[in-house]
Structure 1
Amino acid sequence: MLRLTDVAKDYGTPQRSIPVLRDISFTVPQGAFCAIVGPSGSGKSTLLNIIGLLDRPDRGEICFGGVRANFTSAAEAAQLRNRLIGFVFQSFQLLPRLCAWENVALPLLYRGVARSNRRLLALAMLERVGLANRADHLPSELSGGQSQRVALARALIGEPRLLLADEPTGSLDSVTATEVVALLRDLNQRLAVTILMVTHDRDLAAQCERRIELLDGRIVRETGIT
């Protein structure tokens, strides 16, 4: 599903560049549940942004299902991102004036799907994440765990092949965080969506079948490789 080859990223100026990612290479097969783990500043979020085609590497190659990402064309990168990738963030990023199902349906609005169909599809996805009874509630009426479930439903509504989750439990208490990771695992198995989760929490990462550990922009350990 996903292959990175010698991906590198520097920040700063040519006279004083700071390497953030150094020759990152790994493969994630379709349907895998993989954690990228490491301390703050190890390059995790930068790597996720590059995989999500929100940033471009200075060197290296990224392929999705054998299709090489074209970072020189913003239009092609956006098309590939919209077709293949869903995003979940630590801060949920729900629109406060929209109820749960309307937040979930937003990607379908951008695709031109009629409102009646958007609602039906959004309600079905909310049911999958166990929130059918909160469909008409505003984000302010939801708990942190419920908000993250809505964010998950929104990320999955477009049927992406790859779900990128950047510290999806960072704003949650430990019990709710465990529940969200269990939900991610369940969705991974039921929907066969590939999940790549960035976390600094090793206990949560241990629940993933595959783990890639970063330190100072390099892969220092990989476990769960088949």
Structure 2
Amino acid sequence: MLRVEGVSKTYDRGLIVLEDVRLHLASGEFAALVGPSGSGKSTLLNLIGLLDRPDRGEIILDGVPVSNLSRVEAARVRNYLIGFVFQSFHLLSRLTAWENVALPLLHRGVGGAERKARALAMLERVGLSDRVFHRPDQMSGGQRQRTAIARALVGEPRLILADEPTGNLDSTTGSQVIELLRSFNRDFGVTVLMITHDRDMAMLCDRVIEICDGRLLPQGDAG
């Protein structure tokens, strides 16, 4: 599903953030990426999510090299292949839960009635059928994160990239969020790569990949 082949990234003033990173994730795998602050976790996730480009190396998603796509092509791949879950939810405050969830379908040109039906079905799937008309400020942190997960999954992506999805939640709610991601991984074969600082949360995943100083530790590569 995902291959990262010799990827390096350097920022201003010669700061090497990633160096010769090689990572393989099989379809349907659930993996955690862990490491200290500044180790390159978020940079790697941004490269895999086509939000940035590597200086060297190649990223291959679902068998297709994607590192040198145009902005339009990259946006299309993101919309159809990748779902994002962020620590800070990134929900639009003026929209209701179902409207937030329906946004990826709007960008695909899906009609209004189908958008709403699919969004409502996904909110029911994540246990929020009683919150579909609530705005983010009317929901708890856990409810907002479940809404964000519903938004990430409504377009039936092959890959979920989750950046500290439990970072703003208490441990009980965080475990519920991980179990929700796990249920989609298990039931629909969605591949999940999750960044976390929480070792306990990481141990709930199939594989723990460690990064330090821009390099994956040897046991992090499934080969």
TM-score, normalised relative to structure 1: 0.95
Q: How many Å apart are 1:75 and its aligned residue?
A: 2.2
User: When the two structures are aligned, how many residues end up with a matched partner?
Assistant: 223
Residue ranges of structure 1 left out of the alignment (5+ in a row): none
The Cα offsets for residues 169-188 of structure 1, whole Å up to 9 and x where unpaired, read as 11111111111111111111
Match of 2:165 among 165, 168, 176: 168
2:69 and 2:106 mapped to 1: Cα distance? 28
1:122 and 1:38 mapped to 2: Cα distance? 34
1:189 and 1:172 mapped to 2: Cα distance? 23
CA gap of 1:70–1:6, structure 2 versus 1, over 3 A, is closer
Give 1:36-47 correspondences, 5 Å limit: 36-47=33-44
Match of 1:25 among 22, 26, 38: 22
Residue number in structure 2 paired with 1:199: 196
Residue ranges of structure 2 left out of the alignment (5+ in a row): none
The Cα offsets for residues 150-171 of structure 1, whole Å up to 9 and x where unpaired, read as 0000011111100000011111
Residue number in structure 2 paired with 1:127: 124
- Partner of 2:84, secondary structure, is strand
Tell me if structure 1 keeps the 8 A contact 2:24–2:221: no
Residue number in structure 2 paired with 1:180: 177
Residue number in structure 1 paired with 2:6: 6
Give 1:1-226 correspondences, 5 Å limit: 1-12=1-12, 16-71=13-68, 73-222=70-219, 225=222
TM-score, normalised relative to structure 2: 0.96
Q: How many Å apart are 1:39 and its aligned residue?
A: 0.8
The Cα offsets for residues 69-101 of structure 1, whole Å up to 9 and x where unpaired, read as 142522222222222111010000111111111
- Partner of 1:211, secondary structure, is strand
2:124 and 2:218 mapped to 1: Cα distance? 37
2:222 and 2:176 mapped to 1: Cα distance? 25
1:25 and 1:148 mapped to 2: Cα distance? 30
2:47 and 2:6 mapped to 1: Cα distance? 13
